[in-house]
Structures are given as structure tokens and as C-alpha cells.
Amino acid sequence: QRVNVTVRSGLPMVLSGSAEPCAQLVVSSIGVVGTAEQNQRHSSRFFDVLTAQLGLGPERIVIRFYPLEPWQIGKNRTVMTFL
């Protein structure tokens, strides 16, 4: 219920000046990605999965973390603050 995933394959991307295959993961969450310590743990796990599943080296993957506030997410005709 609280996880949404969008995959866009085949996009032209350049990472570190190279157009070799690469990936970018964008993670946004309420109360889960707010500190460096939290994101370090998440990053390690995400890199393990992404390198294994995509066959990319860790240098070809970038993860961006965005902490959100409950009022920034709308659901069921309201915002998460009230759910």
C-alpha cells in the first residue's frame, strides 16, 4: 500500500560523462529517508539488489533520496496527514 514503483527503461542517460548502461533510483518517503544514517543503510540494500538484478557496477547507479512530509502526498481524496 505504501510503495509505488515506476520503471522507465530505454531512456537515453549519461552518468559521469558516459552513455554506457546505467540506472537512477529515486526514493521518496515519509519518515524513512530523512537522515544520512537511514539513507546509508537503504543505499547499501538498494545497491545490492540493483547490481544483482541489472548487472551494473555500483559506479553506474545513482540513488536520490527525497524525504517527504505527510501533507505533500495526496491519497483517497485527502492527504496522508489525515490518513
Q: Domain containing 73 — which CATH number? A: 3.30.429.10
- In this structure, which long-range contacts are made by residues 33-40, counting pairs with CB atoms below 8 Å and at least 24 apart in sequence? 33/65, 33/66, 33/67, 34/67, 39/65
8 within some domain: no
35 within some domain: yes
Grid look-up 517527504 returns 68
* Cell reading at 19: 552513455
Task: Name the pLDDT band for 11 (thresholds 50, 70, 90).
Answer: very high
* Cell reading at 74: 495526496
Judged by phi (left if over 0) then psi (alpha if -120 to 50, else beta), residue 10 lies in left
63 within some domain: yes
Domain count along the chain: 1
pLDDT tens per residue across span 31-82 = 899 899 999 999 999 999 999 999 999 999 999 999 999 999 999 999 999 9
4 within some domain: no
Q: Which domain holds residue 71?
A: 25-82
46 within some domain: yes
Give per-residue burial for 63-72: e unless 16+ CB within 10 Å, then b: bebebeeeee
pTM, two decimals, is: 0.86
